Amino acid sequence: MAIPILRAAISDSHVFFNSLSHTTRLLSIPKKTRLIDSASASASASAPSEINPLRSEVSFCVGTHLIPHPNKVDKGGEDAFFVSSYNGGVVAVADGVSGWAEQNVDPSLFPQELMANASNLVGDEEVNYDPQILLKKAHTATSSKGSATVIVAMLEKNGVLKIASVGDCGLRVIRKGKLIFSTLPQEHYFDCPYQLSSEVITQTYLDATVTSVKLFEGDTIVMGSDGLFDNVFDHEIVSTITQYSDAAEAAKALANLASNHSMDSNFESPYSLEARTRGFDVPFWKKVLGVKLTGGKPDDITVVVGQVVSS
């Protein structure tokens, strides 16, 4: 069963990357399949980046890793992301909805442009360090055809993390080996998440889930496209994060774990469990034989790990 997904980027004191970017500092990633209709109005790359703004109490030290969908390696996948050093730090991930390919539209173009616009607008006075307004202005400035799920997180120097998300890109906060915060996905129905789009019938910044959480030195955030969260359980994320002191190594380990799970037809993944609870399963005659729907979900996998450090 295929699912829709979206991606993101970085710039100057911000750094932007599309899904084809390969740099030694930061990079980007891939995501989704179902479009919203009118009725529902192993190539990989990794790179660490330290966000070290002046005169701030805390900031992010960031590591990223991208593994495109096995069938999209040549184009680099359909995710995009950005990391910025502005204020306490800004990170974002966008996941392009792959269903656009059925209309001969490249699903990677919309998330790439969306993230490029967002990275350029981070310091805009009208944005005023508000992730929801950043989504509004970046979406308005995006002219490419397509759609994407997206999440933006902005760290204030005082440690307050402000988050705005549309769809099923996600964020987790880990403190002292425990999960203390998790975003929740938005969807119209199974496999069809909320998404920003070039079409007027879909969601806008007003539909974003907006939250904030207080972070402290030593906390870690994990952000990613659904390629991560559909294939890796939260307890696995926590366990993996606690094994690494380096953000880039942690991001790489999580991406590799998600990739391995996505290709394992016997793995009881978060995706297959969710599918069964929504009524998707093997035919009845297979159930009689004790067979059930299992397996990971091959997808673009984008992982961003941000460690909260004192400046």
Q: What percent of the chain has pLDDT over 90?
A: 71
φ/ψ of 114, rounded to 5, equals -60, -45
Q: What is the DSSP string of 232-266?
A: S-HHHHHHHHTT-SSHHHHHHHHHHHHHHHHT-TT
140 pLDDT above the threshold of 70 = yes
Which residue has 């999960």 as its token pair? 179
Start-to-end Cα distance in the chain: 45
Give residue 274's pLDDT: 87
d(CA 102, CA 79): 18
Give residue 279's pLDDT: 75
Greater pLDDT, 51 or 153: 153
Range with the largest mean pLDDT of 22-31, 38-47, 76-85, 281-290: 76-85
Q: What is the mean pLDDT of the chain?
A: 84
Band (281; pLDDT cuts 50, 70, 90): low
Which bin fits 130, alpha (ψ -120 to 50), beta or left (φ > 0)? beta
34 pLDDT above the threshold of 50 = yes
Query: Alpha-carbon torsion 114, 117, 118, 119, what sign?
Result: positive
User: Measuring CA to CA, which residue among 131, 125, 146 is closest to residue 199?
Assistant: 146
d(CA 104, CA 97): 13
Give residue 2's pLDDT: 34
Residues 244-252: what's their mean pLDDT? 97
Band (56; pLDDT cuts 50, 70, 90): low
Range scoring the smallest mean pLDDT among 118-127, 232-241, 291-300: 291-300
126, 71 Cβ separation under 8 angstroms: no
User: Measuring CA to CA, which residue among 63, 219, 105, 203 is closest to residue 155?
Assistant: 219
Question: What pTM does this model have?
Answer: 0.83
198 pLDDT above the threshold of 50 = yes
209 pLDDT above the threshold of 50 = yes
Q: Where are the beta strands (DSSP E) in the chain?
A: 14-17, 45-50, 58-67, 79-84, 90-96, 147-155, 160-166, 170-175, 178-182, 187-189, 192-193, 196-197, 209-214, 220-224, 301-310
Query: DSSP assignment, residue 38?
Result: G
User: Measuring CA to CA, which residue among 184, 169, 213 is closest to residue 308?
Assistant: 213
φ/ψ of 259, rounded to 5, equals -65, -45
Give residue 165's pLDDT: 98
